[in-house]
Amino acid sequence: MSPGLIDLIVSPDDATRNRSLDDFCAAASFPALLAECEALEAFRHRSENLYERVRALFFLAAIHRFHLPAKAELPAGGQIPFQGYEHLLHRRFEEAIEIFTTAQKTQGASDALSSALAAAYHRLAFQTLADQVRRSVRTVRGNQWMFRMGHPKDQPLRVRRELLTPTADGSYPILRELTPVRMDLTHSAWSDIFFLGMDYPEGAKVLNVSVDLGVHGRDSQPQPPVSAWLRVIEEPVLRLVSVDLNARADISNLAEVFDFAKDYLGLLKAAVIAAGIVPPGIEGSGQSLADLLAEMLGPGRGLELVSSVNDIPKGSRLAVSTNLLAALIGVCMRATGQAESLTGPLRESERRLVLARALLGEWIGGSGGGWQDSGGVWPGIKLIEGRAAEAGDPEHGISRGRLMPTHHVFTRDEISSEARQRLQDSLVLVHGGMAQNVGPILEMVTEKYLLRSAAEWQGRQEALGILGEILEGLRNNDIARVGAATTRNFQGPIQTIIPWASTYYTERLIEQVRAEFGTDFWGFWMLGGMSGGGMGFMFTPSRKAEAQERLQAIMSATKRELQNALPFAMEPVVYDFAINENGTFADLLAGADALMPSGYYTLTVPELIRQDRRTLSSLRRTELDKFAAACRTKPELRGMVQTLFDAMFPRGKSDAGNESLAALLEENGFDAKQHEQIRAHLREGRIGLAQNRLPANAAIEDVRSEDVVDLSAKTDQKLADLGLASLRAGEVAVVTLAAGAGSRWTQGAGVVKALHPFAKLGGRHRTFLETHLAKSRRISRLAGTSIPHVFTTSYLTHGPTSDFLGQHGNYGYDGPLHLSRGKSVGLRMIPTERDLRFAWEEMSQQMLDEQQQKVRESLRTALIGWARGAGEAGDYTDNLPLQCLHPVGHWFELPNLLRNGTLAALLAERPQLRTLVLHNIDTLGADVDPTLLGQHLQSGACLSFEVITRRLEDRGGGLARVNGRPRLVEGLAMPHEEAEFALTYYNTLTTWIDVDRLLEAFGLTRADFAPNANADEKITTAIRNLAAKMPTYITLKDVKKRWGHGQEDIFPVTQFEKLWGDMSALPEIDSRFLVVPRRRGQQLKDQAQLDGWLRDGSAAYVESLCAWK
Amino acid sequence: MHIRKALITAAGKNQRTLPLQSLVDRDGVTKTALAIIVEEILRAGIEQIGVVISPGDEAAYRVAAGSHATALTFIEQTAPLGYAHAIHSAAEFCGSDAFLLLVGDHLYLSTAAKGCAQQLMDIARTENCAVSAVQSTHESKLPYYGAVGGQLVNAAQRLYQIEAVLEKPTPTEAEQKLDVPGLRAGYYLCFFGMHVLTPGVQRILGELLTEARGHEQTVHFRAALARLAEQERYLACELDGRRYDFGVKYGLLTAQLALALSGRDRDEVLRGLVELLATK
């Protein structure tokens, strides 16, 4: 056995096993690392221990992602076999690894192959872990039988007699489960992630508190926010109702129960399945739901299940949805006798069963939380801990820890009533308004844990110490100490492990609260996976009321300030809360009290009233009478009449939205004629995703070495001097493309990417805007002449960017700074079914794991239904006006400079202007590099495009010889995907532009931009003529629609665009291609890239290009 | 252990008329179910048989028992307070003796030379402790039976040490508490409806009924058996035979078919069945 990395995995000695991979690799030579990879690969195949295999996989992923590329001996470039990529997409990871390693043996190691291997190992590692958690969830005793059951006659559950016996008025009683949510006092460095708990049970600990909640100023007092209601009905259906999501359905066939994304009832469906009412084993059996219900309830009967979360917004980090799932499962388990307690609190054994089922439900629904999330099921304050697997456990011999943690509920002797009261009196709970996906963060935590990165490991140990301190504070009734500890936790271990847990917004809030409350502010406390949503602020009890008012004001003001920069889902709220000492609790409502929550009636009554009373069943009639009587007598139903009236006669939809959309279109140069033409072409099938592609007979080959100039590794003083001279002479300006909405960056949230404070550089959060200016500042100083910097903007980004620069005094940039406002805009369209099917069925897709794939397919069917129903190729107008418009591609951005006077202004300032450097907002490494400038000048080219060697993640075209001529080809235009994998270079979009030669290509001269040239018409015509030569691409983009309380839906919409890289296809333009270092050319498209970007030295590289002041 | 007495319960609300139904026995003779059960018990060497009935049923039962009526002692359950109460009604009859307990709505059909009762009594005598006959049963049938969990004691004899007793458990509970090594997945040891019990059971039932008095709660027989398992050695045994519950839908028909197909008239019944199938 090699004495190397395998020892870090298998050593019985803790110190060796916990040694960091980074330290080992930094000291190892390139050949030694390759040898380690080979040894690890062999080891993972022979090891029978799951966690040894997983650690080996993570080691291999990290070596290929970070450590091999850091060695100078690893050749840049290289080609990735397409077949391997296809295996990756289909989740055949082992096959992909096999192909990539074989290629490595034949081609030799390369940066490209390492990127592919890194991705494959990384995904296989997570897949292996996820499979293990799922296997454990299935093998928990009490869950297994549900997977064996495949026929209604085999259904062993029976609904309890108490629920099947109607009361005197003929109605069935309602079983109601009221469940608190949970807050996590310690946040022990995400130690409740299953993978961690199961590998490091002794480090998995959290202090978890069950709380009742109310929205401050809205609700009179805190109450258990989550409730689930169940009753027998006399129809053989499952009637599911979500009061908060305004959704209900009568389900009459089994297949629909397993169709999770069809409507908003996925969580209720998952609960019904996980509770065994419709056991998972019966999926796909083709049997009848009515028969299954008859077995449990008697013929002709069904069940109604209703959920409500009292309008608590999404993203609260209080595990609302997991606790709702637990409440729904709890009520179903009580009803079917699986919990002995029909009413009242649950016993410990029953709570554990609900937890096991909630885990199963989360898996079935394709979601996944931490193991502490169902904490609301337990009462009061408890310590939840991982537990080592012992003989007899299904996990024994597979993982070190059990799937399910243990719960110790603290007694009043351990944490006094006074301490509990004091905690309530000092803590202000809020929802900051941001609703973010914490999935990537949880993956990062798992990976770092398994790699034992030194800082991460240290942080984890520190966090465990902080837990002890918080517990001590509670035991000694010292809440100020608790506050100090949670703050230290947030600022220390949490951010050491995951810097992205903090946001600029959070830090601004803390700063302001501290400034205002001084020492009366006891501390900050992050809830859940990351900050920005649910958060806690602790104060001297005497100032709590004031703090609640002030926090609301501070959050609202800060949100207004940052709403274009960060993805806010809702207006911030302050909660009232109280510790819930019951845990989940059920009661049986019978007779006159057997009423569902009021929201249920808002949802159902209007339709019932519209029906002829005689056609209603007697049960329904009785219920309506009872509800009507209750409306007259019960104070909590006051105002119901008005609510119902509003629901039945909705106020006419305001025209304001439509008007502002029309005005926006008008204002931003919308071309209605072109829009109608595109629509007609789309409907006729003349354009579309399939038609974006170059003809199938186009010969696409990789470029030859003479087609590029490789400046990725060498320095050339002569070129640098030439460039520097031009810079000194003031001949260069920078154009940063900042018109796009960065839809991948925030999954279509419509914020301005340029303004996003995306990472801490030079000690604090920086926006893209500030970073690009800091690079120009450094070069300006180097050259002794300030560089004019232009940011192109669009309808979406112009106002916010202009305001932001104003607020921040142009970040102190002393060179000329211009915004070039976009002059073209499109109106999004509803996609055609043909394009949706092409995108989802014809193009290579990343398969998800089994259960998630099922959810995705069901969602896609729903979206195709939506497109058909809403009208294919119709205008997309059902959203905020700004979300209905789209930018028309970056090709237009340079012509916009010509049209909107920016070029004229630049030329007026700098008549000597000769070169423009154009780059994308997310190309953080791009600056006015003197050597590259020298190369561009020396070549005499019109356009010099920068390209980089390709990695697996660089999808979307590249540099190719098309029918013998080198040019950039967009991914959309690739006749078949495989062709892209033969290309060595990827397009960075960064372009050096010779101003005069470009104008010439347009048929213009500098004279047309002179102050009194009056050449507007000429310029417009010139642009239109050139535009006509550019291909128009049809694309599908995701757009978010927000509704309710922090809810979001994502819709695919059709838009068109023209792209800048296609300029290289014009024969009249002299285009050249420069190979630049990867760090210069790589783009940050997705927030999930940030951590790797920080770890692989890219962030440090960007910092080295910047002068912040 | 000396076992001289047997107890048949037939006082259940839906159970009262079942032992009175007529069936054709293996020997081709028409008898009541009660008579068939009684004969099996007598063959096993039992001397005294107690039958727990609802008040007023004695006459009908005497008729049903036919020539065996004289061997029977009828005990009335004074109030319909459940199965445990019914058994305890016969406390005096049982005295301080071990006894064989059967339910009146089941038919036991042995596949071995010895009858089911005989098999069970032999084991109880050898092991000198309480033994319940059990049958490995699929989990979908759990709503109908009591079930036990425990450890295998003797694989050849299919003998188990009982550690838990649950009445009509949910599969969830069964999986957690009644897992028995050696059974197929999804199968549990459910009561066969036949037990040999020690006098301790009547004592425990007495205690439980006293404890429950005034609390409006029903005492379950399984609670007594669970307590028995805590206090005494208590075994479960799979017999060579099957039980037929004629209280369920088509139960009587199935029981009759099973009897007929294992008896003298097997060919005749089979022929009838084939004819039926051919014309359908």
Cα dist from B262 to A758, B25, B26, whole Å: 82, 10, 7
Instruction: Report the gap between the CA of A601 and the closest CA in chain B (Å).
Output: 34
Q: For the ranges A558-562, A677-681, A1048-1052, which has the lowest average pLDDT?
A: A1048-1052
Q: Which residues have a Cβ under 8 Å from the Cβ of A292 and sit 6 or more positions away?
A: A152, A155, A254, A278, A282
Could A148 and B186 be called an inter-chain contact, meaning their C-beta atoms sit closer than 8 Å? yes
Coil/strand/helix, residue B138: strand
Residue of B nearest to A276 (CA): B172
Residue of B nearest to A353 (CA): B172
> What is the predicted pLDDT for the residue at A186?
81
Could A276 and B172 be called an inter-chain contact, meaning their C-beta atoms sit closer than 8 Å? yes
Q: What is the dihedral of CA A774, A778, A779, A784, to 10 degrees?
A: 130
Confidence of residue A1 (pLDDT cuts 50, 70, 90): very low
Identify which of A141, A146, A337 has the shortest CB distance to residue B176.
Answer: A141
Cα A744 to Cα A748: distance, rounded to the nearest angstrom: 6
Cα B104 to Cα B124: distance, rounded to the nearest angstrom: 21
Could B172 and A145 be called an inter-chain contact, meaning their C-beta atoms sit closer than 8 Å? yes
Could A145 and B175 be called an inter-chain contact, meaning their C-beta atoms sit closer than 8 Å? yes
Could A154 and B140 be called an inter-chain contact, meaning their C-beta atoms sit closer than 8 Å? yes
pLDDT for A651 beyond 80: no
Which one of A137, A143, A147, A157 makes the best mutation probe of the B interface by having the most chain B beta carbons within 10 Å? A157
- Which chain A residues are Cβ-neighbours of B176 within 8 angstroms? 141-142, 353
Which one of B138, B170, B249 makes the best mutation probe of the A interface by having the most chain A beta carbons within 10 Å? B170
- Which chain A residues are Cβ-neighbours of B143 within 8 angstroms? 156-158
Report the range out of A53-57, A1036-1040, A1049-1053 with the highest average pLDDT. Answer: A53-57
> What is the predicted pLDDT for the residue at A754?
92
What's the distance, Cα to Cα, between the start and end of chain A in Å? 54
Give the residue-averaged pLDDT of A643-663: 67
A426–chain B Cβ distance below 8 A for any pair: no
Q: Are strands A757-761 and B30-32 parallel, antiparallel or unpaired?
A: unpaired
A291–chain B Cβ distance below 8 A for any pair: no
The pLDDT tens digits of the residues spanning A13-24 come to 878 888 888 889
Could B139 and A158 be called an inter-chain contact, meaning their C-beta atoms sit closer than 8 Å? no
Could A157 and B171 be called an inter-chain contact, meaning their C-beta atoms sit closer than 8 Å? yes
Confidence of residue A209 (pLDDT cuts 50, 70, 90): very high
> What is the predicted pLDDT for the residue at A1099?
94
**In this structure, which amino acid lies at residue A306?**
V
pLDDT for A741 beyond 80: no
Instruction: Report the gap between the CA of A854 and the closest CA in chain B (Å).
Output: 27
> What is the predicted pLDDT for the residue at A850?
73
The pLDDT tens digits of the residues spanning A440-499 come to 788 888 888 888 888 888 999 999 999 999 999 999 999 999 999 999 999 999 999 888
Cα A1014 to Cα A999: distance, rounded to the nearest angstrom: 16
A156–chain B Cβ distance below 8 A for any pair: yes
Residue of B nearest to A147 (CA): B186
Q: What is the mean pLDDT of chain B?
A: 91
Chain centre distance of CA A1023: 38
Could A145 and B173 be called an inter-chain contact, meaning their C-beta atoms sit closer than 8 Å? no
Could B172 and A338 be called an inter-chain contact, meaning their C-beta atoms sit closer than 8 Å? yes
- Which chain B residues are Cβ-neighbours of A276 within 8 angstroms? 171-172
A158–chain B Cβ distance below 8 A for any pair: yes
Could B176 and A153 be called an inter-chain contact, meaning their C-beta atoms sit closer than 8 Å? no
- The more confidently predicted of residues A181 and A533 is A181
- Which chain A residues are Cβ-neighbours of B171 within 8 angstroms? 145-146, 156-157, 276
pLDDT for A369 beyond 70: no
Instruction: Report the gap between the CA of B206 and the closest CA in chain A (Å).
Output: 25
Percent of the residues in chain A that have a pLDDT greater than 90, as a whole number: 55
**Which pTM was predicted?**
0.81
A and B: number of Cβ contacts within 8 A: 49
Residue of A nearest to B141 (CA): A156
Name residues 346-375 of chain A within 8 A of B (Cβ): 353
The pLDDT tens digits of the residues spanning A127-152 come to 888 787 778 888 888 888 998 888 89
Name residues 265-284 of chain A within 8 A of B (Cβ): 276
Residue of A nearest to B138 (CA): A154
A812–chain B Cβ distance below 8 A for any pair: no
Instruction: Report the gap between the CA of A655 and the closest CA in chain B (Å).
Output: 56
- The more confidently predicted of residues A117 and B65 is A117
Q: Which residues have a Cβ under 8 Å from the Cβ of A310 and sit 6 or more positions away?
A: A213, A219, A223, A225, A226, A227, A244
> What are φ and ψ of residue A156, in 5° steps?
-90, -5
Q: For the ranges A243-252, A660-669, A674-683, A933-942, which has the lowest average pLDDT?
A: A660-669
Could A142 and B172 be called an inter-chain contact, meaning their C-beta atoms sit closer than 8 Å? yes
Confidence of residue A913 (pLDDT cuts 50, 70, 90): very high
- Which chain B residues are Cβ-neighbours of A338 within 8 angstroms? 170, 172-173
Confidence of residue A243 (pLDDT cuts 50, 70, 90): very high
A337–chain B Cβ distance below 8 A for any pair: yes
- Which chain B residues are Cβ-neighbours of A146 within 8 angstroms? 171
User: Percent helix, strand, coil in chain A (nearest 5)?
Assistant: 50, 15, 35
Give the residue-averaged pLDDT of A81-105: 93
* Chain B residue set in contact with A, beta carbons under 8 Å: 138-143, 170-176, 179, 185-186
A724–chain B Cβ distance below 8 A for any pair: no
The pLDDT tens digits of the residues spanning A959-1015 come to 999 999 999 999 888 888 888 888 999 999 999 999 999 999 999 999 999 988 889
Residue of A nearest to B174 (CA): A142
pLDDT for A290 beyond 60: yes
The pLDDT tens digits of the residues spanning A350-364 come to 999 999 899 888 877
ipTM of the complex: 0.72
Cα B273 to Cα A749: distance, rounded to the nearest angstrom: 71
SS (HEC) of A908-931: HHCCCCCEEEEEECCCCCCCCCHH
> What is the predicted pLDDT for the residue at A650?
60
Q: What is the mean pLDDT of chain A?
A: 89
The pLDDT tens digits of the residues spanning B176-200 come to 889 888 888 889 999 989 999 999 9
Which one of B137, B138, B139, B140 makes the best mutation probe of the A interface by having the most chain A beta carbons within 10 Å? B140
Instruction: Report the gap between the CA of B168 and the closest CA in chain A (Å).
Output: 10
* Residue (of B117, B113, B107, B110) closest to B44 by Cα position: B117
pLDDT for A743 beyond 70: no
Could B138 and A158 be called an inter-chain contact, meaning their C-beta atoms sit closer than 8 Å? no
Identify which of B143, B176, B179 has the shortest CB distance to residue A156.
Answer: B143
Could A141 and B179 be called an inter-chain contact, meaning their C-beta atoms sit closer than 8 Å? yes
Instruction: Report the gap between the CA of B49 and the closest CA in chain A (Å).
Output: 35
What are the DSSP calls for B11-64, one per residue? Answer: --TTTTTGGG-EEE-TTS-EEEHHHHHHHHHHHTT--EEEEEE-TT-HHHHHHH
User: Contact B107/B36 with Cβ under 8 angstroms?
Assistant: yes
CB under 8 A, 24+ apart: contacts of B69-76: B71/B38, B71/B42, B72/B38, B73/B48, B73/B49, B74/B50, B75/B50, B75/B51, B76/B11, B76/B52
Burial class (CB in 10 A: 0-12, 13-18, 19+), A616: middle
> What is the predicted pLDDT for the residue at A659?
62
> What is the predicted pLDDT for the residue at A2?
44
Instruction: Report the gap between the CA of B178 and the closest CA in chain A (Å).
Output: 10
> What are φ and ψ of residue A911, in 5° steps?
-60, -25
pLDDT for A74 beyond 90: yes
For residue B66, how many other CB atoms are within 10 A of its CB? 13
> What is the predicted pLDDT for the residue at A656?
54
* Residue (of A600, A630, A661, A570) closest to A306 by Cα position: A600
Which one of B139, B168, B172 makes the best mutation probe of the A interface by having the most chain A beta carbons within 10 Å? B172
